[in-house]
Amino acid sequence: MLANTDYGTETEQSEQPGHEAAGPSRATPLRADDLARSLPGGMVRVFAAKEHIYREGDPATHVYRVEAGHVCIYRGLPDGRRQIVSFSYPGDFIALGAIRRHSASALAGAKTHMRSYPLAGLQEIARHDAALGLRLYAAVSEELAAAHDLLMTVTHRSAGERLAAFLLALSRRNSRCGENEREIVLPMTRTDIADFLGLTIETVSRTFTKFRIEGLIDLEQCILVTICDLAALEIAAGNGVSARERLELAS
Amino acid sequence: MLANTDYGTETEQSEQPGHEAAGPSRATPLRADDLARSLPGGMVRVFAAKEHIYREGDPATHVYRVEAGHVCIYRGLPDGRRQIVSFSYPGDFIALGAIRRHSASALAGAKTHMRSYPLAGLQEIARHDAALGLRLYAAVSEELAAAHDLLMTVTHRSAGERLAAFLLALSRRNSRCGENEREIVLPMTRTDIADFLGLTIETVSRTFTKFRIEGLIDLEQCILVTICDLAALEIAAGNGVSARERLELAS
DNA sequence: ATGGAGTGTGAGAGTGTGTAACAAGGGAGC
DNA sequence: GCTCCCTTGTTACACACTCTCACACTCCAT
């Protein structure tokens, strides 16, 4: 779950390349690949949709890499409320921060292929290979920055801002992966989005409709979002246009 | 800012010792000391109240350890809104997750003594000493778990639950440090508490008075909180009493 | 004494929520 | 292919919670 989706809150975004944000998921292709290269090839296991890879509190035994499908990482409250902490896509590692026990649950959102690396072996390597330890450190540090960004977004932004930021984060992810930045596939359910953004499913639904009416997006099916007005969506996300960009627009 | 204050959300808390949560701060005495032992003695510098140790976006040059005083780690939005990510007390490390640039700002809440360790030297050691890399990894992993807990609390809990959880986290911190678990000193302002819990200062203030009227706490000065009814505060925090404890109480 | 920062309290407004009921889609079974 | 049923998404409306705005008070330093 190497977080890397920036919500693009900062106006100086381009000047702070290292400042990534908590998004629905993020590829961090470089770092993740770094890490993958350090690791011996693990076993691939297939999980069915809605099958848990591990649960909060379980002893940590493996680190995983998503090969296909997608995974929700979440925390739960006894009364059923839950907070999705990140969505992980192919290439992302999950369960990295777990030392003894998993501090969150991992649930396959669809049929998902996971490559697993035994923790014991990992620690064995890290004891000799200092570079691996630093890579793990760097990977978790990025997740930490992502978590802080998500915290910022969820706490201080309105429902509309949150959803807009979420869509933009997915759009940027598409850009990075060389896909269409205006056609966003939402493999997760409305419930998942709500639990990620700290909203209810109704509010998510309502806000989608509001965006559609305002002409910001198109909703072909509930799974496919087309961004009609990227700039307006940026404004809806509360992302101030940077001073430089404003000058460029004005001139 | 080695996070270690559990909000005690889980009913199986005692059965999940490794499951710590996002609190206002946490000592993690063991790990922090581990880390301190690995590091060469750094320089101590004194910061005045409201002086920044570093700012979001600054190039990361040092890692710091709080020797005296306390520090707020926060993220800011362009419009002035901010989210305090953690409070750090003596013994805590800060700036650990920063690879190239600081992803958050650090502000001294009062006159604060900080011991600083140059990042360059740290990386040099880590290249040879694999154990240090793993310790850094472990330290940041704890911060990540803490951030996720804070996320959970701020997103899915009411104002009362948040404040109660905050006070309980501080109470537990006192226990761990061998201090009175019922007498809590709040070195931070109401504004800081509000920015940490994602509330407004007014709501924080009102909730404090509500707790006082209900007999949960006493407020001598606004800086000193005495917990009168620990169990009631647990309930106010939304921490369900575990099945076992309920049986014990009933019998 | 005076000013400022921080805190406490009140009234009104607004956002998001909760509880509904309803529509749409997909799979199992026959 | 067909129905039934369950899941998921959408919409409406009243309500509750928190926020916003306004002002008084305390404490401390000047």
Is residue B34 very low, low, confident or very high in pLDDT (cuts 50, 70, 90)?
A: low
Residues 153-212 of B with CB under 7 A from strand C: 189-191, 201-202, 204-206, 208-209
Here the tokens at position B244 are 């076992």
pLDDT of residue A250: 39
Q: What is the pLDDT of residues A51-106, one digit of tens each?
A: 899 999 999 999 999 998 889 999 987 777 788 999 998 889 999 988 889 999 99
pLDDT of B118-164, one tens digit each? 988 888 888 888 888 888 888 999 999 999 989 988 888 889 999 99
Cβ within 8 Å, pair A151-B85: yes
pLDDT, one tens digit per residue, over A156-175 is: 888 888 899 999 998 998 89
* Tokens encoding B105: 């700002």
- Contact between B79 and A157 under an 8 Å Cβ cutoff? The reply is no
Residues with Cβ within 8 Å of A139's Cβ and at least 6 positions away in sequence, in order, are: A2, A28, A31, A32, A35, A93, A96
Q: What is the CA radius of gyration of chain B?
A: 18
Residues of chain B contacting A15 with CB distance shorter than 8 Å: 57
Which of B79, B137, B197, B244 is the best substitution to test chain A (most A C-beta atoms within 10 A)? Answer: B137
Nucleotide nearest to A223 (CA to C1'): D9
Kindly identify which residue of chain A lies nearest to residue B157, measuring between CA atoms.
A81
Compare CB distances from B129 to A12, A99, A130 and report the shortest one's residue: A130
State whether B152 and A75 contact (CB < 8 Å): yes
User: Of B59, B15, B30, which Cα lies nearest the Cα of B142?
Assistant: B30
- Which residues of chain A are within 8 Å of residue B15 when distances are taken between CB atoms? 57
The pLDDT of residue A178 is 87
pLDDT at A124 > cutoff 50: yes
Q: How high is the pLDDT of residue A249? A: 39
pLDDT tens digits, A135-144: 888 899 999 9
Between B249 and A84, the higher pLDDT residue: A84
Mean pLDDT across chain B, nearest whole number?
A: 80
Residues shown for chain B: 251
* Domain covering A32-150, topology: Jelly Rolls (2.60.120)
Answer with the residue of higher pLDDT: B168 or B33: B168
- Tell the residue number behind the tokens 């929700």, with chain if given: A72
Instruction: Report the C-alpha gap between B2 and B88 in whole angstroms.
Output: 8
Cα separation, B130 vs A125, in Å, equals 9
CA A59 to chain B, closest CA, distance in angstroms equals 9
CA–CA distance, A156 with B74 (Å, rounded to integer): 13
What pLDDT, on the 0 to 100 scale, is given for residue B249? 40
Amino acid sitting at position A67:
E
Report whether B104 contacts B56 (CB < 8 A).
yes
Q: A116 beta carbon < 7 A from strand D?
A: no
Q: Would you list the domain boundaries of chain A?
A: 32-150, 157-250
Instruction: Kindly determine whether the C-beta of residue A224 is less than 7 Å away from any atom of nucleic acid strand D.
Output: no
A251 or B180, greater pLDDT:
B180
Query: Greater confidence, B213 or B243?
Result: B213
Per-residue flag: A209 CB under 7 A of strand D: yes
Q: What is the pLDDT of residue A143?
A: 92
Distance CA B76, CA B61 (A): 21
Which pLDDT belongs to residue A27? 39
Contact call for B141 and A141, based on CB within 8 A: no
Kindly report the pTM of this predicted structure: 0.83
A157-250: which CATH topology?
Arc Repressor Mutant, subunit A (1.10.10)
pLDDT higher than threshold 90 for residue B193: yes
Contact A135, A35 (CB under 8 A): yes
Contacts of B152 in chain A (CB under 8 A): 75, 77, 83
CB contact under 8 A, B81 and A156: yes
Residue B29 has pLDDT above 80, yes or no: no
